Chain A
Amino acid sequence: MTLDMAKKGQKIFIKKINDEKIKVQAIRLGIYEGAKVDCSLKIPFGPVILSNRMQEIAVGRTLARKIEIDVIKEGA
């Protein structure tokens, strides 16, 4: 599945980022293939907010469709 399908509160595993440009930039912010992050919020039809420790990142919806993920843990 892709990141746009993630739900609020889920812990997710990032499998693949299908956007070369974002891929290298995202590594620097802690989002990379193999990373485990939380989906802390979803703005309806809008960006997905990922968080990793204190770090929060907003990912546009179209971009989220290019990121393949697995759900590790369901949210509360």
Chain B
Amino acid sequence: MDCCSGIKIDIPKGHKKLVLAGNPNVGKSVFFNALTGMYVDVSNFPGTTVDVSHGKFQDYVVLDTPGVYGVSSFNDEERVARDVILYGDVILNVVDALHLERDLFLTLQIIDMGKPVIVALNMMDDVERNGIKIDIDKLSRLLGVPVIPTVAVKGKGLEEVKNNIKNAKVGIIDDKIKGYFKEYKDKVEHQSEALMLLEDDEATSERLNINTLGKREEIYRLRRERVDKIVESVIIKEGKGNRLRQKISSLTLNPLSGIPILILVLYLIFKVIGVWVAGDVVGVTEETIMVGYYEPFIRKIILNLFSENSFMYRLLAGEFGILTLTPTYVIGLLTPLVIAFYFFMSIMEDSGYLPRIAALVDRVLSFFGLNGRAIIPIILGFGCITMATITTRLLGTKREKIIATILLGFTIPCSAQLGVIAGMIAPLGMKYILIYAFTILIVFALTGTILNKTLPGESSELFIDLPPMRLPKLSNVLKKTWTKTVMFLKEATPLFALGALIITLLEESNIIYKIQDMFKPITESFLRLPKETANAFIMGIIRRDFGAAGLTELSLTPEQTVVALVTITLFVPCIASIIVIFKERSKKEATLIWLGSFILAFLVGGILSFLIV
């Protein structure tokens, strides 16, 4: 047990582990890039570096950790960061100079671990802009470690940090905490482990099989007092804060202005993504490039190997072929949409707007057993349910993850589907658009409320840090969009391929036709739709937009169209999403969600058709 349980990183002989640690959004990843020359996620919303990136600097292996407010086990980011920091050899602690009272808590905690530390006092440009003056020498003396002022984004101070890594020092440990260490002196190998035990860290206690003493709160308070004292004595001049930023911040938080701003922002995003990307861009990437050029090309190659009526041909290059449907879907349709969504999300994160949206909508989401943070997967859901379901990981409790997953799977139409739906419903006029939107909204609210009332346990409450509003840097936004897109595609592509495989097998074994027959009575008598609609539903199991697109070929009255669209929206999530749901949740939950969406879709569709058709 040496480094980083769970994360396997080879440390070459004679190399030391240099760990980058700091609060969220302080510039760790910018330092990481500067040190290693490698490129990673650079962001502004708490906790975006969920993985640990690593690279080399001189004879150090550099590890970039997710941003945390302290070393403990309150959430995934903390668990990952904890495992890396605990066994690091040298810690480069990046501190946001504007938020000393927050950031120094972690600094002191790392110092208390007895690790050699060097502090990069970052964001000095913000400090100057706000008219704040910090006594850096004094800070260094009080901490007992080197402190170097930096402006990482402008490259200021980076050389000095690099040259001073070897000067990292064990800092001044709190006397009282030092006294407590005696308790564990002979029981553990590292002082960092002793500190974790003193702070009641369950994971460490379990792993080392040593009991804790219930001293966490006392130690945190001691540290807090020390932080406050240090801050008080090193701030030579307090600033006023940036008026304009504060003004913008309160405009986004105040519902009177905040809600219109939010609506406007979302409208702009959907205008760009829903109309331009989903229409024009995908038209080129999917139709022209993938279906027009790529698919015939690959079919020709496969035909050289297998005959047209062979199983292998259908498996690889058939209607749902692994080499035809999957690449067309992933490259032609999903990639442009996912890039567009991550691009806007990155802008909202980097500007500090996203946590403010979370605060603004917190109240509304609380009716559904969620807190404001759940707005992130919900917005992403309008891009791609698969991508959004993966993001439910960031929610606080299992209960919230289940609720969010169900709401996404049941009610949110993904952008691909939304494109087709919009095309069908827009010509029918406002009345039908409203019927559609209202029905979906009501189902969303009812599902959320019922889940909140019936699921056991309690959801976590909103308690988030609002980072300062900043103008996002395009280069960071682009880098991040790219990393996230690549991460998503890596995770999702095999799932789409698996989905395609399953569908081909269902078709080969004729099961798919049995399902189709099963549907017919429901579609005709209950939904009052032509029986061919069943085909659209079958397609909907595979790809949500296929389902909707299947409807365009039927001749439906406007009322029937709305019923069909509502049903297909509420219908099961696409095959890739459902595989993700199976991965993220238990088999039982996933099965229930899948079956539940069948029932819900037909039930709501039936009721609506009873009312309007």
Complex: A53 Cα to B468 Cα, angstroms: 12
A19 to B465, CA, bound (A): 18
Q: Does B56 interact with chain A (Cβ within 8 Å)?
A: no
Contact between chains at B102 and A55 (CB < 8 Å): yes
Nearest residue in B to A57 (C-beta to C-beta)? B465
Stretch at the interface among B150-158, B357-365, B409-417, B494-502: B357-365
Q: How far is the CB of A19 from chain B (nearest CB, A)?
A: 8
Residues of B within 8 Å of A29, CB to CB, are 69, 102, 465
> Which residue of B70, B250, B258, B362 contacts A58 across the interface (Cβ within 8 Å)?
B362
B217 A28 Cβ-Cβ under 8 A: no
Q: Are the C-beta atoms of B254 and A47 separated by less than 8 Å?
A: no
Whose C-beta in chain A lies nearest to the C-beta of B109? A28
Whether B359 and A43, one on each chain, are in contact in the complex, defined by CB atoms closer than 8 angstroms, is yes
Contacts A25-B69, A47-B372 given; does A57 touch B216 at CB 8 Å: no
B319 at the interface (CB under 8 A from A): no
Q: Given A30-B224, A46-B360, A57-B463, A41–B250 Cβ distance below 8 Å?
A: yes
Q: A55-B465, A59-B463, A63-B463 are in contact. Are A28 and B360 (CB under 8 A)?
A: no
On whether A41 and B253 interact (CB within 8 A), knowing A49-B359, A56-B465, A63-B463, the answer reads yes
Query: Chain A, 22-55, contact with B by CB distance < 8 Å: what is the 0/1 string?
Result: 1111111110100000001101111101001111
Interface flags, B210-241, vs A, CB<8A=1, else 0: 00000011001101100010010000001001
Interchain CB contact under 8 A, B130 and A54: yes
- Report B-chain residues with C-beta under 8 Å of the C-beta of A62: 366, 461
Report if A61 contacts B (CB, 8 A). yes
A26 to chain B minimum Cβ distance, whole angstroms, is: 7
B462–A47 touching, CB < 8 Å: yes
Task: Give the contacting residue for B254; candidates A43, A52, A55; CB below 8 A.
Answer: A43
Is A75 positioned at the interface, with any CB of B under 8 Å from its CB? no
B461, A63: Cβ atoms under 8 Å?
A: yes
Nearest CB on B from A57, distance (A): 6
Interface class of chain A by DSSP: mixed
Cα-based distance from A58 to B464 in the complex (angstroms): 5
Given contacts A28-B105, A55-B99, A60-B463, contact A43 B255 (CB under 8 A): yes
Chain B residues with CB under 8 A of A54: 98-99, 130, 241, 468
Inter-chain CA distance A23–B461, complex, in Å, is 12
Which one of B105, B221, B461, B466 contacts A60 once the chains associate, using CB atoms below 8 Å? B461
* Residues of the A chain whose Cβ atoms lie less than 8 Å from the Cβ of B100: 53
Q: Can you identify 27 A-B contacts, CB atoms within 8 angstroms?
A: A22-B461, A22-B463, A24-B217, A25-B74, A27-B220, A27-B223, A27-B224, A28-B106, A30-B101, A41-B253, A43-B254, A43-B359, A46-B359, A47-B372, A47-B462, A49-B359, A54-B99, A54-B241, A56-B249, A57-B463, A57-B465, A58-B463, A58-B466, A60-B362, A60-B371, A62-B461, A63-B461
B residues with a Cβ closer than 8 A to A are 69-70, 72, 74, 98-102, 105-106, 130, 216-217, 220-221, 223-224, 228, 231, 238, 241, 249-250, 253-255, 258, 355, 358-360, 362-363, 366, 371-372, 461-466, 468
